[in-house]
Amino acid sequence: MLSMAAVAAQTTFKEPPVTNEAWTKPFPGFRVVGNVYYVGTDDLASYLITTDQGHMLINTGVGSSVPMIRASVESLGFRFGDIKLLLATHGHWDHVGGMAAIKRLTGARMLMHEADVPVLEDGGNSDFRFFPKGRGTVYEPVKVDRRLKDGDTVRLGATELTAHHHPGHTRGATSFTFTVRDGGRDYRVGIINMNGINEGVLLLKSPGYPRIVEEYAQTFARQKQIALDVFLSSHAGQFGLHDKYKAGAPYDPNRFVDPKGFRAAVERAEKNYLDQLQKERQGQPSR
Ligand SMILES: [Zn+2]
């Protein structure tokens, strides 16, 4: 395997400067529950799901965080090269910026909901927010090897994830649910893409995504149907990582059990959506 520096040298891609410090601030890797580990940064969540057939990695943060993710994986006693499957909750650069590099480093396959395949493969240029002009490439494009649809399952070893299409934030935003056994108990784990609205996005006037207003509403309704124990998400702040994690505390599989927090987070996002929708209908500026 090539050194990180050699791999970095294989690409000429330069990502935009990161202005949010929490995106790239290191955070210790730790075990969440069973075979699920947090290997992300202070704010951008990445999850390693280990199996005896290799590992899955969900989300990468920005491109420059790849060495940090690798260090986290190795600090937990796993081999970075054993990552076999790459998945993501949506195709924005703060979650998939490192996919191309990690794919090169590990030879893993990239899986993505079919509606976010175009953005992954053009590095974010076809992001609906910049239609029709295009955004320009903001992360290194990555070729998708398997296109997921709602309800598809992804299996590796004894772990089987179900992909839930939860569009709105992007066309192909996806949540993953699966069951983890730990200490004789089953935990229903949800890595949920919270349905926030990026600044400047209009629900009633997005020519690049005409069905956005309906799709957001459908996603809230569907997320309320999900029964989970362990609540995880794309950003640390969305599932309360910094409140729930205790540095140096012994492993506790119940630490991230929070069905009520999940429900409340969905309701908060829905309220923001309804508030914005009302303002747009009244013709006020959205923010
Ligand atoms: Zn996003």
Cα 195 to ligand 1 centroid, rounded to whole Å: 9
Cα 3 to ligand 1 centroid, rounded to whole Å: 30
pLDDT digits (tens, 9 = 90+) for 257-281: 999 999 999 999 999 999 999 999 9
Measured distance CA(164)–CA(30) in Å, rounded: 26
Token pair 């491109």 is at which residue? Answer: 63
Cα 27 to ligand 1 centroid, rounded to whole Å: 20
Of the two residues 255 and 2, the one the predictor is more confident about is 255
What's the pLDDT score for residue 12? 74
pLDDT at 9 over 80: no
Confirm if 35 and 49 have CB atoms less than 8 A apart.
yes
What's the pLDDT score for residue 156? 98
Cα 52 to ligand 1 centroid, rounded to whole Å: 31
Tokens for 244, please give them: 């729930």
Measured distance CA(132)–CA(247) in Å, rounded: 46
Tokens for 203, please give them: 């629900």
What's the pLDDT score for residue 260? 98
pLDDT at 4 over 90: no
pLDDT at 287 over 60: no
Q: How confident is the model at residue 254 (pLDDT cuts 50, 70, 90)?
A: very high
DSSP string, 93-146: HHHHTTHHHHHHHH-PEEEEEGGGHHHHHTTTTT-GGGTTT-----S-----SE
What's the pLDDT score for residue 1? 55
What's the pLDDT score for residue 69? 98
Q: How confident is the model at residue 145 (pLDDT cuts 50, 70, 90)?
A: very high
What's the pLDDT score for residue 123? 97
Cα 91 to ligand 1 centroid, rounded to whole Å: 7
Q: What is the mean pLDDT of residues 210-228?
A: 98
Percent of the chain predicted with pLDDT > 70: 95
pTM, two decimals, is 0.95
Q: What is the mean pLDDT of residues 149-170?
A: 98
Cα 20 to ligand 1 centroid, rounded to whole Å: 13
Q: What does DSSP assign to residue 235?
A: B
Query: Residue 257 pairs with which residues in a beta bridge?
Result: 230
Cα 259 to ligand 1 centroid, rounded to whole Å: 23
Q: Which CATH architecture has domain 4-281?
A: 4-Layer Sandwich (3.60)
Q: How confident is the model at residue 285 (pLDDT cuts 50, 70, 90)?
A: low
Measured distance CA(132)–CA(9) in Å, rounded: 32
What's the pLDDT score for residue 130? 94
What's the pLDDT score for residue 13? 86
Q: What is the mean pLDDT of residues 209-233?
A: 98
Q: What is the residue extent of each domain of the chain?
A: 4-281
Cα 197 to ligand 1 centroid, rounded to whole Å: 9
- Cβ partners under 8 Å of residue 157, min gap 6: 51, 52, 53, 54
Tokens for 268, please give them: 């908060």
What's the pLDDT score for residue 49? 98
Which of 8-17, 108-117, 223-232 bottoms out in mean pLDDT, i.e. has the lowest? 8-17
pLDDT at 200 over 60: yes
Measured distance CA(56)–CA(83) in Å, rounded: 6
Q: What is the mean pLDDT of residues 148-175?
A: 98
Q: What is the mean pLDDT of residues 71-91?
A: 98
What's the pLDDT score for residue 242? 98
What's the pLDDT score for residue 198? 97
pLDDT at 10 over 70: no
